[in-house]
Amino acid sequence: MNTDWLAQAPPTFVEADGTRVRDRGFDVGTRLETGPGLGRTGVVHTAHGTIRTPAFIPVGTKATVKALIPEMVQALGAQAVLANAYHLYLQPGADIVDEAGGFGAFMNWSGPTYTDSGGFQVLSLGSGFKKVLSQEFSGTADLDDPKLRMQAVKASRAVIDEDSVTFKSHIDGTTHRFTPEVSMGIQHKLGSDVMFAFDELTSLLHPRDYQEESLDRTHRWARRCLAEHRRLTEERADKPYQQLWGVVQGAQYQDLRRRAARTLSDMDEDGMRFDGFGVGGALEKENLGRIVSWVCEELDEHRPRHLLGISEPDDLFAAVAAGADTFDCVNPSRVARNAAVYTPDGRFNITNSRFKRDFTPLVDGCGCYTCTHYTRAYVHHLFKAKEILSATLTTIHNEWFTVRLVDAIRESIECGQFDDFRDDMVGRFTHSGRTGAR
């Protein structure tokens, strides 16, 4: 398989040029004719520059991509970063970030920025939902088990009402309450170019009747988000325009996903509409492409679509073919801090003893800073010695790998080689069992 894509220089970091900047909108580029015919390239316009899509957006949860400085994130080719409203609300506080000029200025990042609504973290970290999520993704849970389903519903009803979600800070145990209006207020203060509407998190364990109830509530919250977004946009007219994207829920149910997409696409609150859309909630891996295609078939094609929390190569190819434009995920940096290294042949753990005297790059031919300057033996040593630099070097590589992979997917669409690239890349990565590095 050709791995030239790993060695290519990162794309030019795009900043606003000229006197007039398009602060919203999406231009469709090359359409993917194969598969469901929904994939495409394009350009997302924001107040702080453009994003060529498909694109992977590294996650800087607390206004930092862990172990990296922003100049490193830019050097590896990232076009934007995403931060988390829940975490920045708790620490240092949205008011402080607002005073700094938004989280981009706060962290010295001049390009486009995203923030999620905080809904996932409010429930998973602050509302006792972790046990439910752990069971769902353990691979051993029976999703049809009535007891587990009852537990999931009970966990939701304990903290969610029509107006809000009540949770406890994972930092100090203090009680807080997020409403759609609170989430919008926080995200406006964080100053992101792209914000997401506040939605309710459900899992695959939640039964159909609760999924319907939750979806209806999420749509009522979405309308409240639009109204508050309009008010705050007018109130903060001196600030750059911040886009609001609606989040399509509906779990694994085709009718719910399609209804959610149509509802959000048509939603209008006194002239304010969603600038784009996120696809969220529980997604069965084997049905990911199918679920995303249900959504994208219903959405306005001239507004961008973001798939939340995805970074595995097979998922990226499936989602792009189904119509998703941008992606974010903590995995590339998270597994890097645990010594896992991405390669076209899967993942390997650099602490394995066979790398102790291996003086080759992490991945031969990779153009990232780590692979062009350091060896497996050195990075192995750093992890064994518990040196902080170990996380920096592996994170640079994993983020480069993921950003460049999605860039290469974009280029393969433009060149008419998407299917061949997907078949080679996914076949090689998955066949290895994700424990590669020969």
Which sequence positions are flagged as catalytic? 116, 328
3-state secondary structure 219-286: HHHHHHHHHHHHHHHHHCCCCCCCEEEEEECCCCCHHHHHHHHHHHHHCCECCECCCEEEECCCCCHH
Token code pair at residue 262: 């149509």
Token code pair at residue 410: 């974009």
On whether the CB atoms of residues 64 and 73 are closer than 8 A, the answer is: no
CA distance 429 to 346: 5
The helix (run of H) or strand (run of E) holding residue 349 is strand 346-349
On whether the CB atoms of residues 211 and 250 are closer than 8 A, the answer is: yes
CA distance 366 to 376: 13
On whether the CB atoms of residues 24 and 172 are closer than 8 A, the answer is: no
Sign for the pseudo-dihedral over CA of 254, 309, 199, 296: negative
CA distance 159 to 154: 9
Query: Which residue, among 153, 48, 140, 161, has the nearest Cα to 103 in the 3D structure?
Result: 48
The single-letter DSSP state of residue 438 is: -
Q: Name, in order, each residue with C-beta under 8 angstroms of 260's C-beta and a sequence gap of 6 or more.
A: 215, 218, 219, 248, 249, 250, 295
